[in-house]
Amino acid sequence: MRQFIDHIVNRRFRQVYQALEELRLIKGKSDLAKKLDTYNHVINNILKGQRNITLDQILKLCHFYGVNANFLFGLDEQMFLDERVSEGQLPARSIESMTPDYGGNILLVPIRAQAGFVLEGIEGVKNDVKRFTIPGLEGNLLAFEIEGDSMLPTITNGDIVVCEEIEQGQPLRDNQVYVVVTDGIVAKRIQQVRDGHQRVIRLRLISDNKEVYPPYEIDVQDVRKLYKVKYRLTGFGVN
């Protein structure tokens, strides 16, 4: 068993697994197991150092999550090929990558329908909601079109952000971008403000265009819904 624990690829895999959880790209071992076409107990055994990760599993890990294979083999210290993933920036794709699909997994909520959707659910605005797919993006996701310049240069006016809903009690990550729903709907970076008992009592909402839009705080009880922004779709050039 010792040789499995000490193997560089297995050690690096454990680091990748932890990063994927922290970045909310996976929800646990079973989620990752499905992507790697294996079983929950296999992932568990690799994490415990009881078996080696296979080459096929490595290839799928790199394909689905953009993991740098050289990192896994100890040849590089950059974990993801797109280093923005680990720096709190948003991976970007072209709006042209959107494929209209009646049964697609991503709901596009037009600006005029946003308030009704987040407060009433899809039944309240179903005539305004369209579905689409993007290769490589799976799960039940929502997309919002962004107006304004408060998140420049990360998000530009007219960009579409693809999000997953955060359930009550799920942990949040400071300095990541969320769509925050109170009486209005905004896309901001958040920082959690805690009291003396380490309970989150407020959220500090931060614009990337800080020179024009200063940070402000809201009480957590005023937050109706939160959506974690996973990708940005833009009509501008993508690096």
68 and 152 fall within a common domain: no
Residue whose tokens read 């107990």: 41
Residue whose tokens read 């959506």: 227
102 and 197 fall within a common domain: yes
Torsion of CA 214, 163, 238, 94, to 10 degrees: -130
Among 66, 87, 108, the domain boundary falls at 87
Helix or strand or coil: residue 221? helix
Both tokens of 176, joined, read: 């990541």
Within its chain, how far is the Cα of 67 from the centroid?
15
Q: What is the pLDDT of residue 1?
A: 47
* Residue-averaged pLDDT of the chain: 83
175 and 107 fall within a common domain: yes
Q: What is the pLDDT of residue 237?
A: 54
Closest CA to 74 of 131, 11, 128, 14: 11
Among 37, 55, 87, the domain boundary falls at 87
183 is in which domain, residue-wise? 92-234
77 and 96 fall within a common domain: no
- Per-residue confidence in pLDDT tens, the chain, 239 aa: 456 667 899 999 999 999 888 766 787 899 899 889 999 999 999 999 899 999 999 998 888 777 889 999 999 888 877 655 555 567 777 888 888 888 889 988 776 545 445 555 544 445 556 888 887 778 889 898 888 899 988 898 889 999 998 988 888 888 889 999 888 888 999 999 998 888 999 999 999 898 999 999 999 999 988 999 988 898 865 54
Among 87, 109, 134, the domain boundary falls at 87
Q: How many CB atoms lie within 10 A of CB 189?
A: 20
Phi, psi of 205 (to 5 degrees): -100, 125
Within its chain, how far is the Cα of 195 from the centroid?
27
148 and 41 fall within a common domain: no
19 and 112 fall within a common domain: no
112 and 157 fall within a common domain: yes
Q: What is the pLDDT of residue 239?
A: 47
Pure H helices in the chain = 2-6, 8-22, 29-35, 40-47, 55-65, 69-72, 114-120, 122-125
97 and 73 fall within a common domain: no
Q: What is the pLDDT of residue 72?
A: 93
118 and 221 fall within a common domain: yes
Q: What is the pLDDT of residue 193?
A: 93
164 and 49 fall within a common domain: no
pLDDT tens-digit series, residues 106-129: 988 776 545 445 555 544 445 556
Q: What is the pLDDT of residue 92?
A: 77
Alpha-carbon distances, residue 122 vs 106, 107, 114 (angstroms): 12, 9, 10
DSSP label at residue 128: G
Closest CA to 25 of 75, 100, 79, 71: 79
Number of domains in the chain: 2
What is d(CA 156, CA 179) in angstroms, rounded to the nearest whole number? 15
